[in-house]
Amino acid sequence: MMQAVWLTAGTAFVVAVLLGPLFIPVLRRLRIGQSIREEGPVSHKKKSGTPTMGGTIILLATAVTVWQFAGRSPAALLAVGATLAFGLIGFIDDYIKVVKRRNLGLTARQKLLAQGAVAVLFFLALARFHGFSFDVYIPLVDVTWHLGGLYLPFLALVLIGTSNAVNLTDGLDGLAAGTAAIALGTYVVVAWWNSQYDLVVFCAAMMGALLGFLVFNAHPARVFMGDTGSLAIGAALASAAVLTKTEFWLILIGGVFVAEALSVMIQVFAFQTFGRRVFRMSPLHHHFELGGWSEWRVVSTFWAVGLCLSAGALVLYARG
């Protein structure tokens, strides 16, 4: 089985590396460049115009690889379907930004409604999925809740929350891609332990595609993933958590994404309530940037934190 994991991840990696030189020049010719928000760090202004929507590379590499190695496995198709659906929402968002040459694409309400619709479809698919229960296990306190129909809002929270958390993390070269590759690598192990080999293929393929994308996205980035990639990655992580029944473990495995999202919520709450900022700038990675850390130092530190959190999660999960 280990050979199959390496073969799957390696195939997705190679496909992504081969797609990069084909897609990036096209994106440049079409002038599909990133718009940098005005309130962001000054050092990021030089990144304006860097090709975006590179998440398409990740999605294609993942879909092709999963189709090759998992075929029509229901679990793999569910995960790929949710990932591609959120990727489509991100693609539309990126397209609006590019056409209108502005940093804001879909409105928050439009994006939320679209994501909610995908969550409903995912729930309906799960309801027909053989052997899937709407139970939620809370680790450490060893409690299981049967949610029944209430699993829908819970599922929506997991999908939408994770996708937007990854989206917020995607602010530095290689940060979101590297952190997500670590988290998905963790889910390769979790799915393997659960004997869910179709999900092993999905997670390994996504991990390999992300590592291949990092060849072009690591500092200095030649292409950004855009919302096309970040929303899709979040959906992939959430799908893996849901299908392996480890929804609450995702809080630890994706701890970096949780911290990034919480930093934004804390910053907004503190400013609106007290008129003061807790962080120099949010999301959290900008706080460290403005504190004098280099971009690479922030990214490598966050990767290391993500690796430690994932390792800790695997140790605790193995102990039951």
- The answer to whether the annotation marks 93 as part of a ligand binding site is no
Block means of pLDDT (10 residues each) for the chain, length 320 residues? 86 98 91 66 68 95 95 90 97 85 80 97 90 89 90 97 97 96 98 95 98 96 95 98 97 98 97 93 94 95 98 92
Tokens describing residue 40:
């962001």
Q: Is 167 annotated as a binding residue?
A: yes
- Look at residue 145 and give its three-state secondary structure: strand
pLDDT, residue 124, reads: 94
pLDDT at site 272: 93
Question: What is the predicted pLDDT for the residue at 1?
Answer: 67
pLDDT at 2: 75
Per-residue pLDDT at 29: 87
Q: What is the pLDDT of residue 121?
A: 96
State both tokens at 16.
């992504």
Residue 35: what pLDDT? Answer: 64
Q: Considering just the CA atoms, what is the radius of gyration of the chain in Å?
A: 19
Give the separation between CA 289 and CA 16, rounded to whole angstroms.
29
pLDDT score recorded for residue 88: 97
pLDDT at 49: 74
Residue of 216, 119, 120 lying closest to 174 (CA atoms): 216
pLDDT of the residue at 21? 95
Residue 32: the pLDDT is 82
The model's pTM? 0.94
* Pairwise CA distance, residues 174 & 178, whole Å: 6
Residue 319: phi and psi, rounded to 5, are -80, -10
